[in-house]
Each structure stands twice: as C-alpha cells, then as structure tokens.
Amino acid sequence: MADETPKPSELLSKIDYHTPSTHWMDVPVNIRKGMYCYASNPKSVEYLGLPNARAWNPIEEDWKLPENWQQILHEGFKERLEKFRSIKVFMDICVRCGACADKCHFFIGTGDPKNMPVLRAELLRSVYRNDFTLMGKLLGRFAGARPMSLAVLKEWWYYLFQCTECRRCSLYCPYGIDTAEITMFGRELLNLLGLNIDWIATPVANCYRTGNHLGIQPHAFKDMLEFFVDDIEEITGVRVEPNFNKKGADILFITPSGDVFADPGTYTCMGYLMLFHFLKEKYGLDVTWSTYASEGGNFGSFTSHETMKRLNAKMYLEAKRLGVKWILGGECGHMWLVINQYMDTMNGPADFLEVPVNPITGTRFDNAASTKMVHLSEFTADLIKHGKLDLKPERNDNKILTFHDSCNPSRGMGMFDEPRYVIKNVANHFYDMPANTIREHTFCCGSGSGLNAGENMEERMAGGLPRANAVKYVHEKYGVNMLACVCAIDRAALPASMAYWVPGMQVTGVTELVANALVLPGEQERTTDLRGEPLPGMEEADE
C-alpha cells in the first residue's frame, strides 16, 4: 500500500482550503483508496456477538445492511438521546461560529471541509433535526435538516473514521462541544449495523479472547517478555525476573500489548522490566504482569460503550483475583482516557483494592483514591522526586529530545508535567515544541482511535502532518533527533509519520529513557543503550 501513497510534496500540494461552491449536503461522499480502513472481518464481529456480521466492502455499492437499517438507526439515536445528555445538548446548541474549523489535524492535512469538526457533527445533526426537531420537520433544509439515506450513511462512516477522537476541537469550543463524544456515539450507531473497520473489530475480538489486542496467548506472552529479559541481560549483565499472574503481589502492572510486540515500543517494555527489577532488588516491591489482563488499550472504546466496558472489566477482575493492593498502568493514550474517565463508573467500585500508596516514598495518590490505578509517569516522577532511582542521565546525552503530549492523557486527564519531569531527570537535552502545539493544544499523531492500519496510509500521513510540522520545527531549530511520548499508538504510528515528514527523527517511550539512565544493582559497564546503539563516549568500544 505504501508505494501508492503520494509523496510528501504531492500530499502537501493537494491540500486545498478553498471551500467548494456547492453546498456540503450536495457534495456526494467519495470513499477514496488510502483514506479508509478495510471493513470488519465477520468472524471477529461474530465472536463478540455484535450485530450484522457479514463480509462487506466499503467501496461496493451494496453494504449488505439489514432491511430495516433506517429504523435501527433512528431508534438507536433516540435511545441514546435519553442516555447521553452530552449528545442531546451537543445536537442542539452549536452556533456554527467556526472556532473549531481549523483545529482538526485531518482538516489541516486534507483541507476537506467535512473534516472541520463542526461539519463532521453537522453530518449527524442534520439527520437529528430531520427526525427529532419541529423546525427540521417544518423547514427541511432551511433549518439544516436532511433525511437519512444510504449516501448519508456512507458519508457518516467515511468521516467518523476520519476522526481520531483527540478532543482538540473541544478545547476551543465556547460550549465544550466534544467531537470525540459525537464520534464515539456515531460509531456506536454504525456498529448497530455492523459497520466497523477491521483494524478495530479484530483487535477487540482478540482482546476479548486472549486478553490483548494482538491475540498473544499466555505462553507466548511470557515467551516474548523473556526475549526482552535476554536482551536486557546482554546489555546490562543483569537478569531480570518478571512475575506473571502472581497472587499476592503488591501491584498489578497493565500496559498495551503493542509494547510487547513492535519496535520501538519493545524498548519501552524492556524499560518497564528493568524499572520493576530495580524496585524489587532495592526496595522489595513486588510487581506482577498478567497474561489475562495483558492489554491496557481498549479498542472497545472505538466500538461502543458496552464493548469498552466488556474489555475493561478484566483489569479489576484480575486485580481482585490476584489480590494486589492497586494497579499501575503503563504508557498508553486512549487506555488512560478509559481509566481516568470511564473505568470506575463502568466496572467499579474497586472496594477490594487499597488507595494507592507508593510504599517506597510513602506518597499517597489521592487523585486515584477511588479508581485505584496510577499512571507509570506519576509513579516514576514520584520516585525521582524522592531520589529513589539511581540515574545516569548522561547516558541519554546523544538524544536531543522533545515530548509529544498524546491526546488522551492531555485533554482527557491533564498529565503534562509528570512525563516532562521524568524526561528532564533522565536526559539532559530537552526542547518543547511551540506552545500552540503542545500540552492541551497538542496535535494527534494522526492514527489514533483505531486508524493505525496500513491501507489508509494517506489518511494517516495527512492527519499526522500538523504534529510532524511542529516536530520539524524543533528538529531544525535545536537539532532534536528523538520524539518521546507516553502512548503505544504513538510509538506505532509516529515512526511512520516521522519517516514520511521528518526523516531522521526517532520515537521513544519515556520509560525507555528512564531505563537507559537507570543504574541496576550489579550491572556491568554498559556500552549501548536498549536499542543496541553505542552510548555517548562508547562509540569506539562498539567496534
């Protein structure tokens, strides 16, 4: 697929911010190759017991919908208007001021006006007005209403899968209208008709069965971590011993399975192993991994609220079974939206766990008092603040860093200073990107919310453009050569978008940097970092 993707210069010259002369309702949707993901595999849909499992193809005329699909949608819409005040209010109060229009990375990268958050929402609102409001019924298009049709449905599908639920537009909206909420709702409706994409549906089915999106079975999961154990031994001379499914451990650690599977997330995973080994040796802290709850991410959240809950349930179930005190969560984006804003409500109360206390520093994480789950960056920052880690930040001296705030920990949580604090303590060269592109203003990697497939490379590169552009700025200005992040999707998506837009830029997880700097008890003199690249000053030793 990659060879069909336009070159960066072609993609840039294709961006046209001029609006068409025809009204948007009269511009038919064009489901274009490179801009959409393949349809869900019926086996995955069936495994989960979700509706209308069948093989279908988005670019074919016939989507093999149930006969009464319009009724299903109408009733699904109606039911959710009662269940979600957010949707009801967001359908009614938009004034179309346009503040959100140029905030979306997909709009910036494509110029397609239907990627303006306001129009993405209007795709649904127009049908809402037609079906549920007096004005819409009386005045039709003059009130911005239009009836549901197959063409409208296809338009919904195309554009609801060109939103990564990053919430950037919501920040600027004077009424807090959140397109992520609208997209989640819209995708939930589409799922009533079996209109998911496979890059979401199959990971969800895998996760349901094997505990993780990649479908790694328990023995293989253990094997994969043991590969890392070997690698770590080679680099440090220390053999770390991770616990699996260990009853009575202090803490259960859950992270996205992407970190176990693909570079450069694997280096972050090695970082986790080394950090926990250090804490075990030095302070006796007992952390366990679980093969059953072996996924932090939750692609269910890109499917429906119910599916989100079904997948998320494992975290508490496993914590209870193992009898741990509290849960520590690894570096992941949407995982943390789910944990921070949904988990406790959906699957709590977690009264069988304790309010998280870091036994090494005595810090009580009151901000997680009810959910009982702490972010690894919070945990690491606390350890560093209390001087509990032995660090040699100079080992990261050949890395000139910047930090990408992932959308969900930013606008669905507000974790900005903890990872920066960690980075600045384990590395010496750090430069932030321009102010309007970081922290709460941050841009999405372009591939979030289940869009990180191979067949939609043009869509991903277009969506990744604003982030890449800001990286390029610090790359040229300060010579930044490494982009740090706390999200597994970022680690999977950004290397491609960096190779495309900012060649030479590498991507790393924060815990990889920590582990590079961390001095393990009894380690040999290290000559390379976790990637096998020579440490600063060790370039000759490598020969």
Partner 1 sequence: MNKFYLSSLLAVFVLALIAWVGGPSAPWLFGIVLPYLAVILFVYGVARRVMGWSRSAVPFAIPTTGGQQRSMPWIKQNKIDNPSTHLGVFIRMALEILTFRSLFRNTRMKMTHEGRFSYNLEIFLWLGAIAFHYAFLTTLVRHMRFFLEPVPLCIQAIEAVDSFFRFEISYDAIQFGLPGVYISGIVLLAAVVYLFLRRLFIAKVRYISLAQDYFPLFLIMGIAFTGILMRYFTKVDIAAIKELTMSLVTFKALSFKVPQGIGPLFYVHLAFVSTLLIYFPFSKLMHMGGVFLSPTRNLAANTREVRHVNPWNYPVKVHTYEAYENEFRDKMVEAGLPVDKMPEESAEEEKE
What strand order describes the sheet that includes 482-485?
401-404, 482-485, 506-509
Q: How far is the CB of 99 from partner 1 (least distance, A)?
A: 5
CA dihedral for 50, 55, 61, 66, sign (positive or negative): negative
| Alpha helices by DSSP H, 417-487 | 417-426, 457-478
Please enumerate in sequence order all residues whose Cβ is within 8 A of that of 60, keeping only pairs 6 or more positions apart, or say none. Answer: none
Nearest Cα to Cα of residue 326 among 371, 388, 274, 379 = 371
Nearest-approach distance from CB 404 to partner 1, in angstroms: 16
Of 6 and 536, which CB lies nearer to partner 1 in the complex structure?
6
User: Cα(269)–Cα(331) distance, rounded to whole angstroms?
Assistant: 10
Cβ 491 to partner 1, closest distance in Å? 22
| CB 535, min distance to partner 1, A | 30
> 3-class SS at 149?
coil
If the CB atoms of residues 459 and 529 are measured against partner 1, the closer one turns out to be 459
**R_g of the chain computed on alpha carbons:** 24
What is the closest distance, in whole angstroms, from the C-beta atom of residue 110 to partner 1 in the complex? 12
Which H or E run includes 177?
Answer: none
- β-sheet with 243-244: strand ranges across: 243-244, 287-289, 251-254, 326-329, 373-375
Our CB check for partner 1 shows the closer of 423 and 530 to be: 423
Smaller CB separation from partner 1, 349 or 479: 349
Phi, psi of 357 (to 5 degrees): -125, 130
Residue (49 or 522) nearer to partner 1, CB = 49
Closer Cβ to partner 1, 431 or 473, answer by number: 473
The nearest distance, CB 436 to partner 1, in angstroms, is 4
Shortest reach from residue 398's CB to partner 1, in Å: 28
Choice between 59 and 139, CB closer to partner 1: 139
**In the complex, minimum distance from the CB of residue 181 to partner 1, in angstroms, rounded to a whole number:** 6
Nearer to partner 1, 310 or 429 (CB): 310
Q: Which letter does DSSP use for residue 40 in this model?
A: P
Shortest spacing between CB 277 and partner 1, in angstroms: 19
Which residues have a Cβ under 8 Å from the Cβ of 134 and sit 6 or more positions away? none
The upper half-sphere exposure of residue 373, i.e. CA atoms within 13 Å in the direction of its Cβ, equals 27
Dist CA 400 CA 520 (whole Å): 24
Least distance to partner 1, CB of residue 539, Å: 34
Contact (CB, 8 A) for 106 and 448: no
Residue with smaller CB distance to partner 1, 435 or 540: 435
Distant-in-sequence, close-in-space partners of 253: CB < 8 Å, separation ≥ 6 = 272, 276, 287, 288, 289, 327, 328, 329, 330
Only one residue has tokens 């869009």, namely: 451
* Between 142 and 543, CB nearer to partner 1: 142
CB-wise, 2 or 18, nearer to partner 1? 18
Cite the beta strand spans of 268-369 per DSSP E.
287-289, 326-329
CA-nearest of 379, 377, 345 to 364 is: 379
Which residue shows structure tokens 């979401």?
A: 200
For the bound state, the minimum distance from the C-beta of residue 438 to partner 1, rounded and expressed in Å, comes to 11
**How far, in whole angstroms, is CA 346 from its chain's centroid?**
20
Q: Select from 307, 327, 337, 338 the least CA-distant residue to 40.
A: 307
